[in-house]
Amino acid sequence: MNIQHKADVTLSQLVVVDVQTKLAAVMATDDMQAVLKNCGILLQAANMLNVAAIITEQYPQGLGHTVPELSAVSPHIHPVEKVSFSCLAEPKFSRQLTRDHAQVALAGMEAHICVLQTALDLIAIGKQVFVVEDAIISRNPANKANAIARMRSAGCIITNTESLVFEWLGVAQGDAFKAISKLIR
């Protein structure tokens, strides 16, 4: 198998895990704002570059729905509701996971629970997983750090928002480049 170490727009799918109102409210404010900004950039870039995207919601009756900041930039995406921590345990998610896309970029929360379990399960089914470090969060920073170490050790590529979107772009030209450059500023 030919392993890419760079995200490829033709091979990628984006998954934004459980960025919900009640869960967001208990995160450190500054860190949460950064994650919201970066998740928004990822969703907008995915839309511009035709990268398939999935948004999930963990038990929305208790944790609320996707935060308005992300719903506003992705109104065409209907969140997949789940109660399992790993997104892959939800059949509706698995049906939306694009089989011909070998790469999955993960963002969202919480890093040490749903993001971690989803990443490990994606690795187990043969996907190449890119974890967008500046677009994931946990209530406790030590838990996020531990999750990143575990995901890295399991074979995930730890990246950041700018690296990922510019790897998807590939070249510094065209309308998508101009639009995405404005998002990053």
User: What is the rounded CA–CA span in Å between residue 130 and residue 95?
Assistant: 20
Select the more confidently predicted residue: 81 or 176.
81
Q: For residue 103, how far is the Cα from the chain centroid?
A: 12
User: 114 CB contacts (<8 Å, ≥6 apart)?
Assistant: 17, 18, 56, 58, 85, 86, 87, 108
| pLDDT tens profile 82-114 | 999 999 999 999 999 977 899 999 999 999 999
pLDDT, tens digit (0-9, with 9 covering 90-100), for 140-162: 999 999 999 999 999 999 999 99
Domain chopping of the chain, boundaries? 14-94+127-184
| Catalytic residue list contains 39 | no
Domain 14-94+127-184 has CATH 3.40.50.300: no
31 annotated active-site: no
Rounded to the nearest 10 degrees, what angle do helices 161-169 and 174-184 cross at? 170
Q: What is the DSSP letter of 87?
A: G
| Residues 41 and 184: beta-carbon distance below 8 Å | yes
Say which of 39, 82, 134, 144 is annotated catalytic.
Answer: 82
Q: pLDDT for 128-138, tens place per residue?
A: 999 999 999 99
- The catalytic position among 39, 87, 114, 156 is 114
The pTM score is 0.96
Is the model's pLDDT at 1 over the cut of 70?
no
What does DSSP assign to residue 128? E
Give 28-81 pLDDT, tens digit per residue: 999 999 999 999 999 999 999 999 999 999 999 999 999 999 999 999 999 999
Q: Is 82 annotated in the active site?
A: yes
